[in-house]
Amino acid sequence: MTTARSNASAPSPRRRRLPRLSRGLCLAATLGAVGLGAQVVSSQAEAGVPRVLRPGTRPMAFLLGLGPSWGFRDRYRRGGYNDGPGNGCDDGNPYCRGGFYGGFNAFKLTQEFMGHFSGNASGPALGILMNQEFSGPYFGLNIAPKFTYDIQIKRDLGLYISPSFSLGYHLTSYRGGYYSYYGYDSANYHAVNTQVGVAVKLMLDDRWLVWVQAPNLNMDIGPNRYYCNDAFGCSGTYFRGRIEFLLGGGVTF
């Protein structure tokens, strides 16, 4: 009898293990649910901005662009010729209205290499700017260091407002026969070039970007030697101003 009773009471420890096991499973399920919920909440919080439009993490960029360039101001003086009240070209000379090739809608190409001090795609940056301008027999070239400040307008969005300033060298080269009567079938003019503008940039997949710069103010300032030869004396300073609309793309690395 004693042996039978002891055998009958033996299964009770096994029954006590079942509540412990169930409590452990419930705790694990609860922790798993909490972790999954945290991931869901985090993903929902980030769902407002697609991943492809996230801010850039790469500090270097190479940009390419193009667009029209319109002249709005041209001032030069040649002693004894066209010295009117404005000390510049008369309205009968289409090569002078709005700039010696500002009177035409010049086509502009632009290239830029830049690097940010912040280690990502925002903040101050220094770079090298190069432009080519085409208008009939006139060709323009700009080479200049450029300062840009990329301002990220939303924390989780790779959209930037980018004011910029450059100061460097300008070359205008003329190849044509319009002034061959005066002895210069070709001529080169050297000046200082400065550009001020504001661009909007959008980052794509932390690698590519697209941008629009409007307006871009482009100015050439230098000694008035463009139309000088033995027949005319020259004096004063030459100034040419242009307004430009540029757009393009780029890659970051």
Tokens found for residue 129 = 């700017």
Look at residue 153 in the predicted model and tell me its pLDDT. 94
Could you count the other beta carbons within 10 Å of the beta carbon of residue 48? 9
**Phi, psi (rounded to 5 degrees) for 211:** -150, 155
pLDDT band at 223 (very low <50, low <70, confident <90, very high): confident
pLDDT band at 185 (very low <50, low <70, confident <90, very high): low
pLDDT at 41 over 50: no
Q: Give the C-alpha separation, 122 to 151, whole Å.
A: 6
User: At which residue do the structure tokens 């930037």 appear?
Assistant: 160
pLDDT tens track for 128-150: 999 999 987 788 999 999 999 99
Decide: 160 and 201 in contact? Cβ < 8 Å.
Answer: yes
Look at residue 240 in the predicted model and tell me its pLDDT. 80
**Phi, psi (rounded to 5 degrees) for 81:** -150, 120
Helix (H, G, I), strand (E, B) or coil at 195: strand
Helix (H, G, I), strand (E, B) or coil at 4: helix
Indicate the Cα dihedral angle 114, 120, 125, 126, nearest 10°. -40
Look at residue 21 in the predicted model and tell me its pLDDT. 58
Q: Give the C-alpha separation, 82 to 231, whole Å.
A: 13
Find how far residue 138's CA is from the centre of its chain: 27
Q: Give the C-alpha separation, 209 to 211, whole Å.
A: 7
Q: Give the C-alpha separation, 106 to 132, whole Å.
A: 10
Please state the pTM of the whole predicted model: 0.70
pLDDT at 227 over 90: no
For residue 82, give Cα distances in angstroms to 9, 166, 222.
124, 33, 19
Q: Give the C-alpha separation, 231 to 78, whole Å.
A: 10
User: At which residue do the structure tokens 């939303």 appear?
Assistant: 154
Look at residue 79 in the predicted model and tell me its pLDDT. 40
Look at residue 17 in the predicted model and tell me its pLDDT. 53
pLDDT tens track for 71-129: 876 654 444 344 444 444 444 444 444 444 544 578 999 999 999 999 999 999 999 99
Report whether the peptide linkage leading into residue 215 is cis, meaning its omega lies within 30 degrees of zero. Answer: yes
Decide: 248 and 65 in contact? Cβ < 8 Å.
Answer: yes
